[in-house]
Structure 1
Amino acid sequence: MTGSGSVPLDRELRRLLRHGTFAEVLDHALVVRGLSLERVQHHLADRGVSVSRAALSYWRHGRSRPERAESLRAVRVLEEVFGLPPETLVTILGSPRPRGRAAEPGAVDRRRLWPAHSPLIAAMHAPPDGQLTFLDVHEHVLVDERRRLSAVRTRLVVEATADWVDRCVVYLWSEEPTRTELTGMRYCRLGRSRSDTGSGATVAELMLDQRLAAGERSVLEYEALFPSGPELTFYHRRFTRPNRQYVLQIEFVGEVPAQCVPYRQRTLEGPRQLDQPLWIGASDTAHLVRTDIQPGIVGLVWEWD
């Protein structure tokens, strides 16, 4: 069925080739040609091109697009596999999108804020950053009686910036070289995850209850359980994009520091910009509320007597 030349195109495919997106054409061609992603992957491999099934799925649903040289080779092979005229899919793709900060004003490349996580992101073929906007982030951090990080409960209000968004990628870190456990998911379920116990880095996909179209919103919750680690003296969250509101609550079990000091950093290597101290009352909990967060790092730091 694959080919040695173009084959007749159905009416809908001809329309999509004129007015559709790369993802729409790929999805329709797979359906009308009766090919699974596994079969397409084999056809590519037979022609010396290696593309993962996950990458093909992301292309099909518009969560990412082929841009690297090897990926563009795969696109030209796909034209042959589907019996399309040469350069058809390449033309629909158009010029490569700008990468990094230039791709989205005000954004920070996630590899800059999560450098230890970059190999895990690449190994997972994680979807591009920025398909979900975090409108509100609420974190409740529990510090145990030994002054160690015990658990973080997170609630996210998200908005899709693209169609067919069905997952949220989260990044976790631990100061101990062990794996962080994700549990307590609500309105989502755990998908793929990768960990590097040497650096304490974990990347995980949370599969949303429903697939979102651009502009649609959802809520998801999860809890991260941390192994025994060193004495905790700070906690922060890293933002790659602007965020409407961030609420950070740090609850101390047992001994309580006299105060917590809010801070922000533009980068991991940059200096901490300190704000006025937050006094801790009878709840043994420090509350930080920030709005209109810009990309960078926001957190609290404290000292133990």
Structure 2
Amino acid sequence: MSYEYDARRSGSGAFAGALRDAINARDVTLSWLQQQLNARGNRVSMATLSYWRSGARHPEGVQSLAALADIEDLLRLEAGALSRLLRSTNRTGPLGPNQFPIDEEELERAVMDAFQALGASYPDTSRELTTHSVTDVGADGNIAYSVTRSIVQSTVGTITAIPFLEITPGVRTPAPVIEAVSGGRIAARYSHPDGEVHGVLFELDIPLTAPDTAMVEWSAEYPPDYPETRDTGHALAQKARELLVWTRFHPDAIPDWCEEHLETPEGVTLTPLPPPRGTSVHLVRRAFGPGALGLRWGYGPREDQPG
């Protein structure tokens, strides 16, 4: 029987009781709460809310914890009043290897330089438990904007900030405009002289002591002089529970071909994918890392078909 199963049963009672008390004190219904969440873009079903209130289940995953933050606000609770009751599930657990996810020594040295310039230790002592990376592609077929939402965890001691980097192996770029959306602020910025590594130091709202977790969200906007870029993805130095890479195309820029790019310590795998049936492509990996998961796309005949 897994630890997470036991933790769900033992920790759900306090959370469910606090949620019930807050709903009663606010004198609202689950239906009202669901409608307010939907208005904020958090689509949680009535059944899920009912499970949370009864203690049969509790919020897990990045979207559920985002909804929980809104529930606290809607019920006029202090930030974290409900989420802190879920701490019993935040066990660090087996960490596995922590290694640079891309097999390029010079690039890793540039990343180490970035960490040093940002005042961060290398390797990082935090890890991403769940990450959703969403990229919007403009009408010209190139990346325009991305937003990343993660549940991060301290693995050793107490951390107050986490470095987040944009890496473009072999391609020199200007710095994208990286901004904090939620969970903290940008305390420092750095661009490596080679133009392949740009990053920020994301200072957390609240220090994290292992094995505590926090939700963070940041965005990247790519300037007009950014090179033509028709690939996106996310890299992990440690194993995560879930990684989602979602690429959303402008209706006038639906690609003619796509391929999945997967890099792990075992090597690189390119997998041709069918053209999008709609306007987006999503890739999902669970229990993934270290490694990088990405999507590449193009228009017209594909000139570099893998052999």
Distance in structure 1 (CA, Å) of the matches to 2:141 and 2:193: 22
For residues 257 and 241 of structure 2, what CA distance do their matches in structure 1 show?
A: 26
**Superposition pairs of residues 47-126 of structure 1, within 5 angstroms:** 105-109=96-100, 112=105, 114-126=108-120
In 2, the alpha carbon distance for the partners of 1:134 and 1:259 equals: 30
Report the alpha carbon displacement of residue 261 of structure 1 after superposing the two structures with TM.
2.1
CA offsets 1:220-272 (integer angstroms, 9 cap, x no match) = 001011123333232222221111110111111121113422221236xx863
Matched, 1:226 2:222: yes
2:155 matches 1:161: yes
In structure 1, the partner of 2:285 is 290
Which whole-Å CA distance do the structure 2 matches of 1:279 and 1:177 have between them?
Answer: 28
Q: CA deviation at 1:109?
A: 3.9
The TM-score with structure 2 as length reference comes to 0.59
- Partner of 2:141, secondary structure, is coil
Q: Distance in 1 between matches of 2:217 and 2:117?
A: 25
Residues 25-36 of structure 1 aligned to structure 2 (within 5 Å): none
CA contact (8 A) 1:169 1:204 kept: yes
2:296 paired residue number = 301
Aligned to 2:128: 134
Q: How many residues align?
A: 199
CA separation in 2, counterparts of 1:123 and 1:136?
27
After superposition, give the CA deviation of every residue in 1:52-76 in whole Å (9 maximum; x if it has no partner).
xxxxxxxxxxxxxxxxxxxxxxxxx
Give unmatched runs, 5+ long, in structure 2. 1-94, 301-307
- Residues 173/128 of structure 1: CA separation in 2 closer, same or farther (3 Å cut): closer
Aligned-residue sequence identity (percent) comes to 18
- For structure 1, the residue ranges without an aligned partner over 5 or more in a row are 1-103
What is the CA–CA distance in structure 2 between the aligned matches of 1:107 and 1:177, rounded to whole Å? 27
Tell me the secondary structure at the aligned position of residue 275 of structure 1: strand
Which residue does 1:151 correspond to in 2? 145
Is the partner of 1:207 in helix, strand or coil?
strand
* Residues 130 and 241 in structure 1, CA contact (< 8 A), matched pair in contact too: no
Q: Pick one of 210, 213, 216 that aligns with 2:209.
A: 213
- C-alpha separation in 2, matches of 1:135 and 1:261: 25
Cα distance in 2 for residues equivalent to 1:214 and 1:278 = 42
Cα distance in 1, alignment partners of residues 292 and 202 from structure 2: 22
